[in-house]
Structure 1
Amino acid sequence: MAHLKIGIIGSGSMGSTLARHLTRLDHRVMLSNARGPESLKSLTDEIGATPVSVAEAARAGDIVILAIPTKAIPILPAGMFSNLREGVIVVDIGNYHPELRDGRIEAIDRGLLDSQWVAQQIGRPVIKVFNNIFAQSLLEKGTPKGTPGRIALSVCGDATDAKATVLHLVDDLGFDPVDAGTLDDSWRQQPGTPAYCRDLDAASLRRALTEADRSRISAYRREQEARIRRSMRAEDRPASN
């Protein structure tokens, strides 16, 4: 793939991991967070990205990646996406966690999908990807194309050309790309579903996507949040001898 200009909004574990890999692929990466460019200088010097403001990341050029909590979407600078040129691809990698992090968002609780809500908030179509892989797996488990058991990542979106670009990018990052349909299909890879964060190969991921039950979206999310809570409590326990 030709070298792209990619802005990343959010420098947490997922945003920084994507920045690290994308600069390694010789894309021009502009990384931002709410604390400002100076807070990123050490990381960007290490990986070869450019520290910028959130607004500058949105104007990066070819792709903008939203790597922030769902609750932070409405507080992005007003009008930040309104003047982007037509071909800019916006990628949403987030997940809605109402009890653990985001608070209740009524529209999503009533049935609007996470990324459909994000697209409404920013006034731009989005591509959904990277929300169903843990940062550690994204950092360490990419492999060359054709590797047996290569982990697959599903991609959802309505714009065919934009989705094709992202599918290619997933492949370059070391994962088998799976076209999982339109944005209306993105619920199949939301938290707690059979396709969520299981490091599946392409055939297994496709099966997992078809096994998901749309009537259980809220239940999947509750069950996943309960698993996260149990994991957090276990990490807080003192080690036994």
Structure 2
Amino acid sequence: MKITVIGAGAIGGNLAAKLSTAGHDVRVADARGREAVAAEVLESGARAVPLEESVQGSDVIVLSIPFGVAGQLADLFASVPEETVVIDTANYYPGMLSEPIEAVDNGQVESVYTAEQLGRPVVKAWNAALAGTQRTRGVPAGTPGRIAIPVAGDSEEARKLAMSLVDDTGFDPYDAGTLADSWRQQPNSPAYCTELTLDELPAALAAADRAKDARVRDSLPERFAALGADPTVDDVVEMNRAAHR
């Protein structure tokens, strides 16, 4: 499958490498230029390309860019065929990783906002797992205790395609329903970055509470600071789990 990953940071770079290793034809682009793509990503077989050349001829485009900037790519996507599946991995952290966005603060679901800004449908995937989890804890299908990742989108066909790619990166995909329901996998819900299995994930999604989860998200700086210097992936996962006990 021909896949473009836009964004060569911790999530995008990892996905480009994982999907290339899984046998896909992967191009990776970054607004900072081809030099922003790390050497280890290219060692997997992925190819760095200019942003303006990245989207044509792709079956799937993975957006791994800061939340709130998708609108800047609307012109780039204007010529992308409707059948191309676009996957959004971003999360909203107002005042921390992005400027406050009134529509989202007033209740609009994150990826619904992104779809509107981009001018086309998106699927939400890979947002609910830490970069360290994605980089180091993917395992083959059928492995006991395999971590599950929720996937939401309005098109059943697009959702299933995204789920197959999640499987390719080493995680059990879970069908989380429509994009309007993807608030259940937003920061900092019980399903968000808590490394749950396929058996555990449905209950966590069902337990999501938009008001509480937003308060937990906004308390992240204080909770993270309490972990001390150089927290491990396990430390962060436990912090996220503890917030919902």
Return the TM-score normalized by structure 2.
0.88
| Structure 1 Cα separation of the partners of residues 38 and 222 of structure 2 | 36
Give, in angstroms, the shift of residue 218 of structure 1.
2.7
Amino acid corresponding to residue 110 of structure 1 in structure 2: N
2:28 aligned to which of 27, 31, 52: 31
| Structure 2 Cα separation of the partners of residues 34 and 62 of structure 1 | 21
Give, in angstroms, the shift of residue 145 of structure 1.
1.4
- Contact in 2 for aligned 1:30/1:60 (Cα 8 Å): no
Aligned positions of 1:199-214 closer than 5 A: 199-214=195-210
Matched, 1:223 2:219: yes
Aligned-residue identity in percent: 41
Give, in angstroms, the shift of residue 236 of structure 1.
7.6
Matched, 1:54 2:48: no
Matched, 1:235 2:219: no
Match of 2:4, SS state, is strand
| Structure 2 Cα separation of the partners of residues 181 and 118 of structure 1 | 17
Per-residue CA deviations over 1:114-165 (Å, capped at 9, x if unaligned) read: 1011000000100001111011111111112111111101000001100011
- Contact in 1 for aligned 2:152/2:176 (Cα 8 Å): yes
1:92 aligned to which of 88, 91, 104: 88
2:39 aligned to which of 36, 39, 42: 42
| Structure 1 Cα separation of the partners of residues 101 and 225 of structure 2 | 20
1:122 aligned to which of 118, 133, 136: 118
Matched, 1:82 2:81: no
Question: Which residue is 1:171 aligned to?
Answer: 167
Between the two proteins, the alignment pairs up a number of residues equal to 231
Question: Which residue is 2:151 aligned to?
Answer: 155
- Aligned-CA RMSD value: 1.9
Match of 1:58, SS state, is coil
Q: Pick the structure with more helix per residue.
A: 1
2:180 aligned to which of 176, 180, 184: 184
Give, in angstroms, the shift of residue 48 of structure 1.
1.3
Amino acid corresponding to residue 72 of structure 2 in structure 1: I
| Structure 1 Cα separation of the partners of residues 230 and 148 of structure 2 | 32
| Structure 2 Cα separation of the partners of residues 120 and 142 of structure 1 | 32
- Contact in 2 for aligned 1:7/1:60 (Cα 8 Å): no
| Structure 1 Cα separation of the partners of residues 63 and 224 of structure 2 | 22
Amino acid corresponding to residue 17 of structure 1 in structure 2: N
Match of 1:101, SS state, is coil
- Contact in 2 for aligned 1:40/1:51 (Cα 8 Å): yes
Question: Which residue is 2:238 aligned to?
Answer: none
| Structure 1 Cα separation of the partners of residues 155 and 111 of structure 2 | 14
Q: Structure 2: any 5+ residue segments left out of the alignment?
A: 232-245
Give, in angstroms, the shift of residue 36 of structure 1.
1.0
2:133 aligned to which of 130, 133, 137: 137
